[in-house]
């Protein structure tokens, strides 16, 4: 994937909840919102997913589809999605192929130790497969609102 907005995103497919396969190419929405998060059922990831859930109808009205992505298994994702009542699908990336494509795997400090993990990041891709906006090193408060405002501001 190119590092700059308006660069084309290489098509990819990956397993997702609902016994479906996500395919970037040919998405029907004007915008695809991909939010990468570290782990199901952790405080920040739960809050972020709830924030996107609460704004889901507004994203849909603005022509955007939301998908969460982490390295968790489909089984974990199905439980997380059900527990939170998420109206959108979660993509499973256990082999880190999609995470690597979007360059979100980073060394992070956790309890004083260096660990390799997902850097919380969000990408907005248009219907032509072009990256139009990215956020890296996301802080959860107000992030979903910021993404929604961006999508709504597009012509």
Distance CA(122)–CA(47), nearest Å, equals: 15
Partnered with residue 123 across adjacent β-strands are: 34, 134
Q: Are 92 and 74 in contact (CB under 8 A)?
A: yes
Whether 99 is catalytic is: no
Spot the catalytic one: 9, 16, 33, 45: 45
Choose among 65, 60, 48, 72: nearest CA to 121.
Answer: 48
Q: For the stretch 4-41, what's the b/e string if a residue is b when 16 or more beta carbons lie within 10 angstroms of its beta carbon?
A: eeeeebeebebbbbeeeebebeebebebbbbbbbbebe
- Hey, which residues are catalytic here? 45
């Amino acid at each position: 994937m190119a590092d700059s907005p308006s660069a084309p995103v290489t098509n990819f497919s990956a397993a997702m909840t609902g016994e479906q396969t996500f395919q970037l190419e040919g998405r029907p929405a004007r915008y695809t919102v991909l939010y990468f998060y570290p782990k199901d059922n952790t405080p920040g990831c739960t809050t972020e997913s709830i924030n996107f859930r609460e704004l889901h109808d507004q994203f849909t009205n603005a022509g955007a589809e939301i998908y969460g992505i982490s390295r968790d298994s489909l089984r974990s994702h199905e439980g997380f999605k059900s527990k939170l009542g998420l109206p959108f699908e979660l993509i499973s990336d256990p082999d880190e192929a999609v995470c690597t494509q979007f360059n979100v795997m980073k060394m992070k400090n956790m309890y004083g130790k260096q660990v390799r993990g997902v850097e919380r990041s969000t990408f907005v891709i248009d219907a032509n497969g072009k990256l139009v906006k990215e956020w890296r090193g996301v802080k959860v408060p107000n992030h979903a609102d910021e993404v929604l405002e961006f999508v709504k501001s597009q012509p």
